[in-house]
Structure 1
Amino acid sequence: MADKEDLTRFGVAFPTPLIEQFDEYIEERGYKNRSEAFRDLVRKTLLEPSRLRSEQDVAGTIVMVYDHHISDLPVRLMELQHQAHHDIISNMHVHLNHDQCLEVIAVRGNLGRLRHLHQQIQVQKGVLYAELSVTYVDELNELASLHSDDHSHHHHSNHHHE
């Protein structure tokens, strides 16, 4: 790879039992070394929805399992998705057994709106599981919002100094 990223090296101290478990983990998943595995774990942590700002544009999934026999639940879930149609790319519906359905919704949009959709799904009676997972942050929008935040913050602080 010609465009190699600059690497910063640092030491990490692990208790022996923990590093042994980590080495088993990386071997099971086919990593070549600890660094690759550690980098992936850090990337995953940085994409946790709880640490991202609501105004960020992201892509990811909402995964849910629900009992389709619960009165009006399938209709209510469909209504929620229609209300959020601008943020929904696609969905997949799987019949798990006689009672339960698994639905995977691919989403892309404002994280605050996606969190709201996730919460609306999660609180429905008969929804057994619902999780929002972010797998992509729109860096171009992020840079633009950081610039505008700095700009407005600069004026805001000048106002206080007058």
Structure 2
Amino acid sequence: MEDNELVRFGVSMNRDLVEQFDKLIAHQGYNNRSEALRDLVRKALIDPNQLRLDEQVAGTIVLVYHHHLSDGLTELQHRFHHEIVSTMHIHLNAQQCLEIIVVRGVLKRLKELQQSIQVLKQVVYAELSVTHLEPEEPHSHE
């Protein structure tokens, strides 16, 4: 069987659940259930809790915090500078900031960073979202 060969299988659900699912995927712009299910499966497979802690991943940490936190957050980001690719800082209002940190590295280390951010006193929200990285193939110079 080829890697990209489509495989058909049946799924049983109660009618109410199917109707709710159909409304949801129509609202999201899916043309059919198969596309929506494929996306749900892909999302489940890259959940940080499903990946091995030693896997190389890339992703983001999204956080909302009170602006008084800046110094502690900067110090923490310097400790994890090898894993941080980029950051974007947005002022939501006079008190709150949104920050998006693009990260890349071993999942265990990225989880440590996210957890270290989450426990900072002024952090309202911090979530790590990642995807598995395929190992790079050596380039041939032919």
User: TM-score by structure 2 length?
Assistant: 0.91
Distance 1:112 1:4 in 2: 29
Amino acid aligned to 1:107 = V
Aligned partner of 2:10 in structure 1 is 11
Alignment of 1:1-162 (within 5 A): 5-69=4-68, 73-134=69-130, 136-140=131-135
> Please, which runs of 5 or more residues in structure 1 have no aligned partner?
142-162
Distance 2:23 2:125 in 1: 30
1:112-136, Cα deviation, whole Å (9 max, x unpaired): 10000001000000100000011x2
Flag the structure with higher helix content.
Answer: 1
**How many Å apart are 1:62 and its aligned residue?**
0.3
**How many Å apart are 1:5 and its aligned residue?**
1.7
**How many Å apart are 1:4 and its aligned residue?**
8.7
Aligned partner of 2:140 in structure 1 is none
**How many Å apart are 1:65 and its aligned residue?**
0.4
Q: Secondary structure at the match of 2:13?
A: coil
Higher Cα Rg: structure 1 or 2? Answer: 1
Q: Secondary structure at the match of 1:86?
A: coil
1:52-97, Cα deviation, whole Å (9 max, x unpaired): 111000000000000113xxx2111001111111111111101011
Distance 2:129 2:58 in 1: 9
Aligned partner of 1:156 in structure 2 is none
Alpha-carbon RMSD:
1.5
User: How many residues matched?
Assistant: 135
Q: Percent identity?
A: 58
1:103-160, Cα deviation, whole Å (9 max, x unpaired): 00011111010000001000000100000011x211227xxxxxxxxxxxxxxxxxxx
> Please, which runs of 5 or more residues in structure 2 have no aligned partner?
137-142
Amino acid aligned to 2:91 = H
1:13-71, Cα deviation, whole Å (9 max, x unpaired): 011011001111111111111000000001001111011111000000000000113xx
